[in-house]
A = this chain, B = another copy of it.
Amino acid sequence: MPDQDTTLRARLVEVGVDLLTREGPGSLTLREIARRAGVSHGAPRRYFPSHLSLLSAIAQVGYHDLGGRIAGLRDEADPRAGLLALGRAYLDFARTQRGMFELMFRHELLRGNQIGLRDASRQLFGVLVDLVTRARHDLADPEPVVVAGALWANLHGIAQLWLWGSLQMTVQLDDVDPLLRAALDAHLGPA
């Protein structure tokens, strides 16, 4: 039940997030969001010029959420453990906040205003580069930024392939942790 005292702009986003986690990305209709916010279907237009911009605002909540989970890991004492925790947080987010995860990385959303993703990416990537450089200061073969990029891609790929069941079908695993560990070992050298 959304708060009644907040501004409509915030309430729309709030309702959207709620609707998203409750019924999936397919139900994020402009009119449905307006309906659940208790306003007419034209009202959102006062704050969001298009349907996509509202969806972007909703997705930014997800970016912020994910960013928050990641940010604290930068100062982890053991960088390897930090990376493992980061990977788990990422994958956990994808699994538990499935609808939000799908929305966040929808192609049509990312075409236009990438500011939300841009900030979240920078943050995530910053932590990643930090941890990677600290985790493997000895090996200097590929630049840390490249390793971080490859690792991020690996992480995201695991999340995606897991979400639609490709990994469960081919690799016979009921948990992503072995894959995550394999990825870490691969990109950082064996522990």
Chain A residues within CB distance 8 Å of chain B: 25-26, 102, 105, 107-108, 110-111, 114, 117-118, 121-122, 125, 141-142, 145-150, 152-158, 160-161, 163-167, 169-173, 178-179, 182-183, 185-187, 190
Contacts and interface: CB of A to CB of B under 8 A. Distances in A.
Contact of A166 (B121, B148, B155): B121
A182 B146 CA distance: 7
Most chain B CB within 10 A, of A150, A182, A190, is at A150
Contacts of A160: 105, 153, 156-157, 160
A185 B142 contact: yes
Number of copies: 2
Contacts of A172: 145
Given A141-B190, A147-B182, A153-B183, 13 more contacts: A107-B163, A110-B165, A121-B169, A145-B172, A146-B179, A149-B167, A150-B179, A150-B186, A152-B161, A153-B154, A153-B179, A154-B154, A186-B186
Given A150-B158, A160-B156, A170 B122 contact: yes
